[in-house]
Amino acid sequence: MNRRTLLLALGVGVPAGSALGWGLSEWMLRSKRASAPRSSGMQQPIGSPFALVDHTGQRVTDATYAGQVRLVFFGFTHCPDVCPTGLGYIAEVLDGLAPQEAAAVRPLFISVDAGRDSPELLASYVTNFHPTLIGLTGTEEEVAQAAKAFRSYYNKVPTGGDSYVMEHTASIYLVGADDMLRGFLDTHEPVPTAVAKIRLALGSAALGAAKAEDRSS
């Protein structure tokens, strides 16, 4: 009942519109790729290899999360605005999914600030946003390799004294269970749009809609 209401509420405008937008942007990227083969497009394998440590202190690699739909966001804990905005958005999106759907998604926050972001600091940081959020960090080299695996950019910018900020790719990667880049979430888009994108990646969108239709007929 709950689920059906949710589906109905989302049913008309948002998924149709966002699916259209999604398809369109994918198509545009594809056609762009045809003329510029080196541009990073959709449906390319992404995110390997890497070896990092999670916020509980466990060593992990790309294989740890292989076969699962992933949301991947690069940032740093000292980032006051863009990172909390991205992580807050991810938290809202996860809460917008049905529990069994959310349980099938691995949200990864990869620190680009190896110098300051220890697993222990990440633990106190990520759990503020969502209980399922996973913080990853490592040595400078490990972090650099992880960023490279996702074709992600970051750079240290001194801000006077020994303080600094990191500039970094702010996209939220949506990676399919097949390790393909399915696209990006955009914090300017309404949460239901991101939910619809993830459902597409989970392959549960069609399934859920069919179920709702079954029940109403």
**How many CB atoms lie under 10 A from the CB of residue 67?**
10
Going by their DSSP bridges, the two strands 154-158 and 59-61 should be labelled as unpaired
Cβ closest to another protein, residue 164 vs residue 212: 164
d(CA 180, CA 46): 6
Q: Give yes or no for a contact between 149 and 50, defined as CB atoms under 8 angstroms apart.
A: yes
Q: Check the annotation: does 55 bind a ligand.
A: no
Q: At which residue do the structure tokens 């696209």 appear?
A: 183
Nearest distance from C-beta of residue 191 to Cu ion, angstroms: 24
Half-sphere exposure of 123 (CA within 13 A, CB side): 9
Q: Among candidates 178, 159, 139, which has minimal Cα distance to 59? A: 139
Nearest-CB residue for Cu ion: 80
Residue 162 in contact with another protein, rule: CB under 8 A: no
Distance from C-alpha of 195 to C-alpha of 15, rounded to nearest angstrom: 9
Q: 130 a known binding residue?
A: no
In the complex with another protein, which residue's Cβ is closer, 165 or 177?
165
153 binds another protein per the rule CB under 8 A: yes
- Choose which of 102, 125, 126, 138 interacts with another protein (CB under 8 A): 125
User: Which parts of 71-100 interact with another protein (CB under 8 A)?
Assistant: 77-82, 84-85, 88-89, 91-92
Measured from the CB of residue 133, what is the shortest distance to another protein in angstroms? 13
Location of structure tokens 């069919």: 210
Using CA of residue 83, residue 85, residue 88, residue 90, what is the dihedral sign?
A: negative
Closest CA to 108 of 202, 191, 173, 170: 173
Asked whether residue 188 is marked as a ligand-binding residue, the answer is: no
Q: Give the 3-state secondary structure of residue 182.
A: strand
The CA distance from 157 to 178, in Å, is 35
Q: How far is the CB of 217 from another protein (least distance, A)?
A: 32
Binding mask 172-191 for another protein (x = CB under 8 A): ---------------xxxxx
Q: Which does 43 bind (CB under 5 to 8 A by kind): another protein, Cu ion, none?
A: none
User: Binding marks (x or -) toward Cu ion, 74..113, rule CB under 5 A?
Assistant: ------x---------------------------------
The binding site comprises 79, 83, 168
The binding site for Cu cation comprises 79, 83, 168
Which residues here bind another protein, judged by CB under 8 A? Answer: 77-82, 84-85, 88-89, 91-92, 121, 124-125, 128-129, 153, 157, 159, 165, 167-171, 187-191
